[in-house]
Structures are given as C-alpha cells and as structure tokens.
C-alpha cells in the first residue's frame, strides 16, 4: 500500500509519501480500501508535535472506504461494506487503513464515500455543538466564527435547521459568499466584530459563541455574549488562547466557558457515535445538509493540503484521494 508518513515532528515538509507493507487487521479490526481521507486541523497539531504522537506515524483520523478484510470477532461488518470513521483512529492518509470496528459507521448506499469522509469530524462536531453543548432554540441569534470553514459551514446549516439566526465571521468576499449560501443571515469581518454583534442584537449580545479560531477572537467573543452567555471554545485555528483571569467571566455578566472535543467529551460510547454520525449521514443523504468539498488532493500531495489549511486558503472541507496518486513519482 501507499501512505503518507510524518517522519518527525515539524512543518509540512515532514510528510513523506511512500510504499509500505499492507496492514493486517487484528481482532475487532477492519482493513479498509480508503476512498477518501479527511484533512483536519488536529492532523496539523499532531504533525507539529503540539499534540504528542510517537513518530514516525501515518496521520489521519477521518475517512471513508470499503471493507476489504475483517479481523476476528467482528460481527457488525462484512467485506464489501461501505464505512466511514472519525476520531480515536490514526492512519487514514493511506490507500489501506486498519480501523477498529467499534469506530466505523455504515454509510448509506445513496451517499458518496467522499461526501461521507468529508462529513464525519466536522459534521459530528457541528452536531454536538448545536444539539448538546448548547441546544440551539428557534429565535436564538448565535455567533459562528470562520463561518466558511469546514466546521463553520456545517454549524451554520445546523443552527438554521434548528430555527436559529447566524452571524458569521469570515476573512474574504469569497468566504462571505460561501457562508451566505450555507444560510448565514449576517456575515461580518473580524475587525470590530464584538461591536457589530451588539449592533445586530439591539445591544443585547448573543447567548452562545462557537469559536474555533481561538487566540485571535477569544476576547471579542467574550465581549459578544449576553448576560450568562456561553463561550464555546472548540478550537484554535489562530493559535492557543493565552491564560486568562476568571474575573472576566464575572465582568461579562456571569458568563460560562467550555472547551469541548469529540473525544472524550461528546463521543463517549458507540451509541453516541451512531447517533451523531447517523444523523449527519442521513441529513447529507437526504439533501438536508450540504457538504462543501473545497478541494481534493492526491494522497501524495498531503503536504499542500496541510499548507492550504494552516495558511487560511481553504473553504469548506479538504480531502485526500488515494486513487489520484497512482502515477505519482516517488
Ligand atoms: N473540538 C472539536 O471537537 C473540534 C472538531 C473539529 C475541529 N475543531 C477545531 O475547529 C477549528 C476549525 O477547524 P476546521 O477543520 O473546520 O477548519 P476550517 O474552519 O476549515 O479552517 C480554519 C479557518 O479558521 C479561520 N482562521 C482565522 N484565523 C486563522 C489563522 N490565524 N490561521 C488559520 N485559520 C484561521 C480561517 O477562516 P477565515 O479566513 O474566514 O477567518 C480558516 O479558513 C480548528 O481549530 C480545529 O482544531 C475542533
């Protein structure tokens, strides 16, 4: 098989494409022919060594494909099944991957495998943010940062599905157009966004901010909240947030702050995985939720995908496609 290996911690240049022996599934595992692997910010953090992973390793926590072999004790899946996975897994940047069966979910026959791969991490993230961390209610106005990002576009649609109104931040006109197509009611730039949010909410502020940008937006996000509002810091695309004084929460009117993740916070067991992934894949297959794939790269070109994501050049989801790498020069 072919795979991308992060040969050491560092910049995108540590990602190397090469040939490896085919992996063998152990008990409770599936061998998958990978149709598409999702590119996520956490892959960059792991490549950089910000999140510790033993090197060398094959990155990639998300993907979709077809079961090629089942290990011992697997009862839920058979050869030929179409499956997707996210989180709690490494090794998706490859033509073949071994996945614990407990992490795989069935993909409905009507759903394209690339779309399924693109929907898993960011779709389940948008699901838990809008249905569990803060249950969006009809009439809520919420602030979604990076509204044209992979998570942002799905969050925007889910808030609208639940009857909420979205104020989204973006950095460019192209991203503004994409966020509006996803249903964002108001789209603003980052400069002075807290004041803009106040102006758009009659001075009241919003009950919840979904902030995956982190360092650059954290202060303004707190200032955008109404009394007893909830700050959901779910990522740090601009960098980690500096330590801060909890008195800021008092000054903001008894604010709440949470820092959630899929694992361990919101995919606590298989039932929760099947619920969130099942909702997301069903909505995608019925057309209720649209997944925008910003760009597909040959697996061998994972380096460019990482650079595009970390340098803010992406819109929607980025995917690696193994079969496009067939004639890539080693
Ligand atoms: N906690 C969880 O469960 C969870 C799950 C998935 C993702 N996340 C986190 O959510 C965040 C977004 O992830 P994503 O995969 O959906 O990415 P994304 O939103 O598709 O891409 C990141 C976007 O953040 C914005 N951004 C603002 N300042 C930036 C900067 N200095 N550098 C880079 N980007 C900047 C950019 O949009 P503009 O140009 O429009 O500003 C950029 O396109 C990441 O921090 C990720 O780690 C967390």
Residue 330 belongs to a domain: no
Residue 131 belongs to a domain: no
Residue 291 belongs to a domain: yes
Given 216, 232, 260, which residue is the final one in a domain? 260
pLDDT band of residue 329 (cuts 50, 70, 90) is: very low
pLDDT for 219-255, tens place per residue?
Answer: 999 999 999 999 999 999 999 999 999 999 999 999 9
Residues 184 and 84 in one domain: no
pLDDT for 296-317, tens place per residue?
Answer: 999 999 999 999 999 999 999 9
Residues 76 and 110 in one domain: yes
Given 260, 276, 304, which residue is the final one in a domain? 260
pLDDT for the residue 293: 98
Ligand 1 centroid – CA 78 distance (Å): 36
The answer to whether residue 101 scores a pLDDT higher than 60 is yes
Q: Say if residues 169 and 221 touch (Cβ distance below 8 Å).
A: no
> Rounded mean pLDDT of 64-72?
98
Structural domain harbouring 27: 2-121+267-325
166: CATH: 3.40.50.720
Cα 34 off chain centre by: 18
Beta strands in the chain (DSSP E): 2-6, 15-19, 29-38, 62-70, 82-86, 96-100, 104-106, 141-144, 165-169, 186-188, 206-211, 225-233, 256-258, 293-298, 317-321
Residues 168 and 252 in one domain: yes
10: CATH: 3.90.180.10
Ligand 1 centroid – CA 231 distance (Å): 16
Residues 10 and 113 in one domain: yes
Residues 212 and 242 in one domain: yes
Ligand 1 centroid – CA 212 distance (Å): 5
pLDDT for 124-140, tens place per residue?
Answer: 999 999 999 999 999 99
Ligand 1 centroid – CA 191 distance (Å): 17
pLDDT for the residue 325: 54
Question: Which residue's CA is the closest to the ligand 1 atom numbered 3?
Answer: 261
Q: Which of 296, 276, 299, 280 is nearest to 288 (CA)?
A: 280
Question: Which residue's CA is the closest to the ligand 1 atom numbered 31?
Answer: 238
Residues 222 and 286 in one domain: no
Given 245, 260, 275, which residue is the final one in a domain? 260
Residues 72 and 157 in one domain: no
Residues 240 and 294 in one domain: no
> Rounded mean pLDDT of 201-207?
98
Residue 161 phi/psi, 5-degree rounding, is: -60, -35
> Rounded mean pLDDT of 168-185?
98
Question: Which residue's CA is the closest to the ligand 1 atom numbered 19?
Answer: 149
Ligand 1 centroid – CA 294 distance (Å): 14
Q: How far apart are CA 168 and CA 172, in angstroms?
A: 12
Residues 271 and 255 in one domain: no
Q: Which residues line ligand 1 (CB under 6 A)?
A: 40-42, 121-122, 125, 146, 148-152, 170-171, 175, 212-213, 216, 234-238, 260-262, 312, 314
Residues 142 and 92 in one domain: no
Residues 182 and 288 in one domain: no
pLDDT for 43-61, tens place per residue?
Answer: 999 999 999 899 999 999 9
Residue 129 belongs to a domain: no
pLDDT for the residue 249: 98
Residue 293 phi/psi, 5-degree rounding, is: -90, 110
Question: Which residue's CA is the closest to the ligand 1 atom numbered 9?
Answer: 235
- Annotate 140-171 with b (16+ C-beta within 10 A) or e (fewer): bbbbbbbbbbbbbbbbbbbbbeeebbbbbbbe
Ligand 1 centroid – CA 234 distance (Å): 9
pLDDT for the residue 177: 98
pLDDT band of residue 205 (cuts 50, 70, 90) is: very high
pLDDT for the residue 87: 81
pLDDT for the residue 324: 56
Atom of ligand 1 nearest to the CA of 216: 28
Residue 126 belongs to a domain: no
Q: What is the mean pLDDT of the chain?
A: 96
Residues 82 and 58 in one domain: yes
pLDDT for 85-95, tens place per residue?
Answer: 998 889 999 99
Tally of structural domains, the chain: 2
Question: Which residue's CA is the closest to the ligand 1 atom numbered 45?
Answer: 235
pLDDT for the residue 110: 86
């Amino acid at each position: 098989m072919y795979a991308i290996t992060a040969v050491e911690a560092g910049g995108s240049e540590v990602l190397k494409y090469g040939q490896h022996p085919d992996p063998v599934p152990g008990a409770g595992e599936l061998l998958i022919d990978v149709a598409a692997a999702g590119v996520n910010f956490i892959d960059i953090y792991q490549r950089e060594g910000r999140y510790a992973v033993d090197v060398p390793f094959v990155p990639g926590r998300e993907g979709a494909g077809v079961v090629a072999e089942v290990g011992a004790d697997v009862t839920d899946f058979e050869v030929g099944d179409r499956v997707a996975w996210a989180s709690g897994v490494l090794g998706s940047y490859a033509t073949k991957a071994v996945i614990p069966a407990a992490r795989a979910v069935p993909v409905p026959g009507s759903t394209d495998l690339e779309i399924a791969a693109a929907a898993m991490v960011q779709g389940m993230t948008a699901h838990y943010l809008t249905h569990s961390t803060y249950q969006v209610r009809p009439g809520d106005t919420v602030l979604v940062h990076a509204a044209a990002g992979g998570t942002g576009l799905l969050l925007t649609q889910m808030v609208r599905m639940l009857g909420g109104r979205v104020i989204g931040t973006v950095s460019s006109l192209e991203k503004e157009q994409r966020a509006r197509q996803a249903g964002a009611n108001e789209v603003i730039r980052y400069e002075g966004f807290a004041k803009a949010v106040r102006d758009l909410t009659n001075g009241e502020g919003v009950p919840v901010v979904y902030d995956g940008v982190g360092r650059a937006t954290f202060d303004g996000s707190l200032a955008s909240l109404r009394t007893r509002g909830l700050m959901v810091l779910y990522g740090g695309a601009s960098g980690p947030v500096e330590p801060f004084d909890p008195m800021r929460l008092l000054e903001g009117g008894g604010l709440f702050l949470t820092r959630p993740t899929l694992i361990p916070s919101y995919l606590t067991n298989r039932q929760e995985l099947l619920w969130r992934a099942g909702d997301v894949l069903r909505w995608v297959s019925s057309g209720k939720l649209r997944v925008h794939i910003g760009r597909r790269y040959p697996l061998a070109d994972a380096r460019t995908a990482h650079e595009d994501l970390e340098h803010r050049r992406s819109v929607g989801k980025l995917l690696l496609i193994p079969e496009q790498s067939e004639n890539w020069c080693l």
